[in-house]
Chains A and B, each alone.
Chain A
Amino acid sequence: MVVPRLVPVGTRACLVEVEDGPAAASLADWARRTGISAEEIVPAATTVLFDGVDLPGLEAALAGWTRGAVSEPGPAVTVPVTYDGPDLAAVAQHWRCTVEDVVRVHTSLELTAVFSGFAPGFSYLSGLPAERAVPRLATPRARVARGSVALADTWCGIYPSASPGGWLVIGSTDAVLWDADRDPPALLAPGTRVRFEEAG
């Protein structure tokens, strides 16, 4: 069994490195169920952040963790997109194809919401093949418009509100990603299966 690696973040937080997103989700879920005391437990792509935690206590407790089973697939959501993003041409260049091909590829993907983060309602969607990976912007934009559909590395995401960001924006959607009065508030909660279609 692989023992997860602890990377200290100062004296009262650490990143626990695991092999992938589902493993991170499983570890975070286990930590909550076991009652590990932390101000924040944040699963991500290959890590879980424990913030406001007793580091020696956490390290001892982690010995008791084994990776859980993969959970059942969640609900399916189709998101309409207008492909008019400022980085559409840049993505076509990375992929060595036309802008039309980018739209065709993006609308044919079957993606899964793996974890939330960055901002309320922002879901990291996996399913972009490794050969389609794109780098983030060298200098993040101070403001990315609400509803921007964007790519970074092999992730796809939608900005739920205007915010700073470094992802490559390929389009926009009117879908409401976060509504505090809705249950659950996030449209793309972890586990949701996501497809994109060209808005009519």
Chain B
Amino acid sequence: MNRAAVEVVDPGPLSTLQDLGRTGWAHLGVPRAGALDRGAAALARRLVGGAVDDAVIETTLGGIVLRTRRAVTLAVTGAPCPVRVDRRTVDHGAAVTVPAGAEVSVGAATSGVRSYVALSGGIDVEPVLGSRSTDTLAWVGPARLAAGHLLAVGSPPSPSDLPEPPPAIVVRPRARELRLVRGPRADWLGEGSWQALDGATYVVGADSDRVGLRLDGPRVERRGGELPSEGLVLGGVQLPPSGQPVVFLADHPTTGGYPVVALLLDDDLDLCAQLRPGDEVALRTM
């Protein structure tokens, strides 16, 4: 039985499958993974009538090209980009039904970093440790997408089961601002360092990825010494002796030895998924 619905023609710079991620394995060093822009991934699933934990495709800057082997309904959300079906432009942020044999081109992001492609019925791959997400730190989970990969989908919901589409999709432009609360090792900060963080502007570092958002800017003073390695959380802001903070994203290592001096508000994690190297971002302490 050939259940393949979609073939990857060109995966772009980095395309992976992501669901809500895997929990319960951090003590073995397995990162959580999962879609970096959770809101955009959830919207894509909803547009095609998918379940909340369906795997979707996450692209990085350059988009992806797919070819359908049978008719599928899909939706592209997240970083804005041109979406074409056989060179005809279709809507971003809407469910689109594509006939068999069509080329679907999700173009390079015009702003932001990561676009999401949901397929009606959900992408059907074997879960690894309970999740269909690809972790890019240690490559636990399905392989990153490559040309020639075939993706199977589950049974699409019958039209009567489809939820009402959202009446309008409002993507509010977000201030490039990251809100911080004090972290478990805030006492490692030098005198006045916490106050200095408020309003400070940083540039997103070139080596930022799914593991962490690296911030280049004013050096944050901290005391010296070594902290015994300890467990890390999503959104933890780690401060190496260089004084340049790193915000931990979905593929963060599960333990580490630099102090976590601040925590990013959960609501601001999606913004981190869409910040490009070179973007300026302001910090706000709460």
What are 9 A-B contacts defined by CB distance under 8 Å?
Answer: A7-B184, A9-B233, A10-B263, A28-B27, A52-B23, A120-B140, A140-B240, A152-B257, A166-B257
Query: Per-residue 0/1 for B213-241: is the Cβ within 8 Å of any A Cβ (1 yes, 0 no)?
Result: 00000000000001011111101100011
Contact: A8 with B184, CB < 8 Å?
yes
Contact: A47 with B228, CB < 8 Å?
yes
Tell yes or no: B255 within 8 A of A by CB: yes
Chain A residues lying within 8 Å of B230, measured Cβ to Cβ, are 15, 44-47, 49
Chain A residues lying within 8 Å of B240, measured Cβ to Cβ, are 136, 138-140, 166
**Looking at B212, B233, B240, B260, which has the most chain A CB atoms within 10 Å of its CB?**
B233
Query: Per-residue 0/1 for B123-151: is the Cβ within 8 Å of any A Cβ (1 yes, 0 no)?
Result: 00000100000000111100000000000
Query: Per-residue 0/1 for A157-200: is the Cβ within 8 Å of any B Cβ (1 yes, 0 no)?
Result: 00011011010000000000010100001100000000000000
Q: Output the nearest chain B residue to A161 by Cβ-Cβ distance.
A: B138
What number of residue pairs across chains A and B have CB atoms under 8 A from each other?
135
**Looking at B137, B139, B183, which has the most chain A CB atoms within 10 Å of its CB?**
B137
Given known A28-B27, A39-B24, contact A138–B137 (CB-CB < 8 A):
no
Q: Which of A57-65, A85-93, A101-109, A111-119 contacts B (4 or more CB under 8 A)?
A: A111-119
Tell yes or no: A122 within 8 A of B by CB: yes
Chain B residues lying within 8 Å of A52, measured Cβ to Cβ, are 23
Picked from A10, A119, A153, A160, the residue with its CB within 8 Å of the CB of B233 is A10
Please give the residue numbers on chain B whose beta carbons come within 8 Å of chain A beta carbons, in ascending order. 23-24, 26-31, 128, 137-140, 181, 183-184, 207, 211-212, 226, 228-233, 235-236, 240-242, 244, 253-258, 260, 263
Tell yes or no: A43 within 8 A of B by CB: yes
B158 to chain A, nearest CB (A): 34
Q: Output the nearest chain A residue to B226 by Cβ-Cβ distance.
A: A153
Contact: A117 with B231, CB < 8 Å?
yes
Contact: A42 with B254, CB < 8 Å?
yes
A14-B184, A42-B255 known; 19 new pairs, CB 8 Å cut-off, are: A28-B27, A43-B231, A44-B255, A45-B230, A47-B230, A48-B231, A117-B229, A117-B253, A118-B229, A118-B253, A118-B254, A121-B29, A121-B138, A136-B226, A136-B258, A138-B242, A139-B244, A155-B229, A163-B253
Given known A49-B231, A117-B229, A155-B229, contact A166–B258 (CB-CB < 8 A):
yes
Q: Output the nearest chain B residue to A167 by Cβ-Cβ distance.
A: B257
Chain B residues lying within 8 Å of A47, measured Cβ to Cβ, are 228, 230-231
Contact: B242 with A117, CB < 8 Å?
no
Contact: B138 with A163, CB < 8 Å?
yes
Considering the chains assembled together, what is the distance between the CA atoms of A102 and B30 in angstroms? 31
Q: From DSSP, what is the main secondary structure of chain A's interface residues?
A: strand
Contact: B137 with A119, CB < 8 Å?
yes
Given known A49-B233, A153-B228, contact A41–B211 (CB-CB < 8 A):
no
A62 to chain B, nearest CB (A): 16
B260 to chain A, nearest CB (A): 7
Contact: B231 with A10, CB < 8 Å?
no
Contact: B231 with A118, CB < 8 Å?
no
B84 to chain A, nearest CB (A): 35
Which 4 A/B pairs are nearest by Cβ-Cβ distance?
Answer: A49-B231, A117-B255, A45-B228, A42-B231
Tell yes or no: A40 within 8 A of B by CB: yes
Given known A42-B26, A140-B240, A155-B229, contact A117–B137 (CB-CB < 8 A):
no
Chain A residues lying within 8 Å of B28, measured Cβ to Cβ, are 116, 120, 185-186
Tell yes or no: A124 within 8 A of B by CB: yes
Considering the chains assembled together, what is the distance between the CA atoms of A153 and B230 in angstroms? 13
Chain A residues lying within 8 Å of B256, measured Cβ to Cβ, are 118
A164 to chain B, nearest CB (A): 6
A166 to chain B, nearest CB (A): 7
Considering the chains assembled together, what is the distance between the CA atoms of A10 and B256 in angstroms? 18
Considering the chains assembled together, what is the distance between the CA atoms of A161 and B211 in angstroms? 14
Contact: B24 with A40, CB < 8 Å?
yes
Chain A residues lying within 8 Å of B255, measured Cβ to Cβ, are 42, 44, 115, 117-118, 124
Considering the chains assembled together, what is the distance between the CA atoms of A15 and B228 in angstroms? 12
Contact: B257 with A9, CB < 8 Å?
no
B190 to chain A, nearest CB (A): 16
Chain B residues lying within 8 Å of A161, measured Cβ to Cβ, are 137-139
Considering the chains assembled together, what is the distance between the CA atoms of A116 and B254 in angstroms? 9
